[in-house]
Amino acid sequence: MTQKLTPEQLKELAVRAKSIRRNIVSMVTEAKSGHPGGSLSAADMLAVLYFAEMKVDPANPKDANRDRFVLSKGHGAPVLYATLAEKGYLPVAELLTLRKIDSRLQGHPEMKHIPGIDMSTGSLGQGLSAANGMALAGKLDARDYRVYALLGDGELEEGQIWEAAMFAAHYKLDNLTAFVDFNGLQIDGPVAEVMSPLPIPEKWQAFGWHVLVIDGHDYNAIYDAIQTAKTVKGKPTMIVAKTIKGKGVCQMENVADWHGKAPSREECTKFLAELEDLKDK
């Protein structure tokens, strides 16, 4: 049975995602570097996780019973920082210190000094292994928290991902749900041309995962997939989320160049106006 969000929840998520996207554009522009394309493509998934699903409390970021989130594609740090600020872990004004000297907000997430960051990431391929460890620890400690991880589609070219895939299935980590941000593009171009990981769903199925394929910009689809994953017993779940790189900014959408390029001040002004005009779902 499909589980849907209420109209009020959908309205809130649209507002949150718009704010997250605007902050991504602003912070990357201010830093004059960063990764806007894959941050924008993941904004809707993080909005649903942090504002409709995960058991987390900014007032108690180290709660042993909290749900965990690992941004395996650590270069997408802007979307995580913007989401954490939206949730109340960080002052929104601090986002504009991204990548500046003495800022807590490095180019990749760092867990020692930033509340709400459960794992330092950045070397691609390693985040899923960390999420595995958290999920296995939860099993061993008889805790009921859940672990979520977000992978990039280009990241699937890393061999460690598939070692971690085997591990999670072997140890029946049904408290682990991972997402692939399947926007089809990486820094050098289409993933199918650089080092094709396709077909993605079939590979994860072959590794023993329960697999769901969704529209990664549909809040109801994201939420329903998460709820379905919670009912699966004896295996981890991979949600293959079909997304648009640069989602929300027409000039960035489906353009590989925006994987790791900052907007100019003029472009930022235009992009923020475009995002502000997005209709709330």
CB 185 within 8 A of CB 259: yes
Q: CA-CA distance, 150 to 11, in Å (whole number)?
A: 24
- The secondary structure of residue 232, as a DSSP letter, is -
Collapsing DSSP to helix, strand or coil, 122 comes out as coil
Residue 189 class from Cβ within 10 Å (0-12 exposed, 13-18 middle, 19+ buried)?
Answer: middle
pLDDT score, position 2: 83
Q: Mutual orientation of helices 219-231 and 7-31 as an angle, nearest 10°?
A: 110
pTM over 0.95: yes
24: left (phi over 0), alpha (psi -120 to 50) or beta: alpha
Tell me the per-residue pLDDT of 264-277, one tens digit each, with 9 for 90 and over: 999 999 999 999 98
**Given this model, what pLDDT does residue 260 score?**
96
Domains within the chain, CATH numbers bracketed: 7-277 (3.40.50.970)
Instruction: Say yes or no to pLDDT of 12 above 90.
Output: yes
Q: Which of 250, 74, 262 is nearest to 155 (CA)?
A: 74
Average pLDDT of the segment spanning 234-257 = 98
